[in-house]
Chain A
Amino acid sequence: EAQVTQNPRYLITVTGKKLTVTCSQNMNHEYMSWYRQDPGLGLRQIYYSMNVEVTDKGDVPEGYKVSRKEKRNFPLILESPSPNQTSLYFCASSFAPNTEAFFGQGTRLTVV
């Protein structure tokens, strides 16, 4: 089954404790991206990747890091999480930026 898998689904952590949210896709997609979704602000792109070892900032990259060492994986790293990074995060993949994006189930992160 074609899918994008994110883990974990739910995470509560404390300020400053490094964390990684994993994302994996099995569709051989070139383009992957991370979004955060907040009430009243919609889906905002954090980082995207056009291919292996090619990543670029989206609209809200501050406080986040990503890597694309393999085509199928695109982890999101929060080196020092802060409460304003409490949000619902989605990973997505597609063949290209303007083709159908497949989204993961989301990760609800709470930073206290």
Chain B
Amino acid sequence: TQLLEQSPQFLSIQEGENLTVYCNSSSVFSSLQWYRQEPGEGPVLLVTVVTGGEVKKLKRLTFQFGDARKDSSLHITAAQPGDTGLYLCAGVGGSNYKLTFGKGTLLTVNP
């Protein structure tokens, strides 16, 4: 089983602060996806990173895929209460067809 470790597990910050969450593995992934899940809902895709070293921006969110395709980070600039949610990374690696999820980072942005 290919594991994805996410850190921190919990993060509580004030509106306007910046933050970074991490997704790490000892395995190589062909691509990594980032999802956000709100209470009572299923996860929703934010972005997919495919190329080692790739950086993608989605408004105030910046996603980076490590050069070796074993890790990824999500940076949020000037966090807002609407960013509150569970952030999950997920990937498919090797020759299997399982989509593996990390345990997630639960972010709370206080007004």
- Interface residues, chain A, CB within 8 Å of chain B? 4, 31, 33, 35, 40-45, 48, 50, 56, 58-59, 90, 92, 97-101, 103-106
Contact = CB atoms under 8 A, between A and B. Distances in A.
B98 A58 contact: yes
B66 interface: no
A69 B91 CA distance: 27
Nearest to B31: A98
A105 to B, nearest CB: 6
A94 B111 CA distance: 36
B41 to A, nearest CB: 7
12 contacts: A4-B42, A33-B99, A43-B101, A45-B99, A45-B101, A98-B33, A98-B99, A99-B48, A100-B48, A103-B44, A105-B41, A106-B40
A22 to B, nearest CB: 15
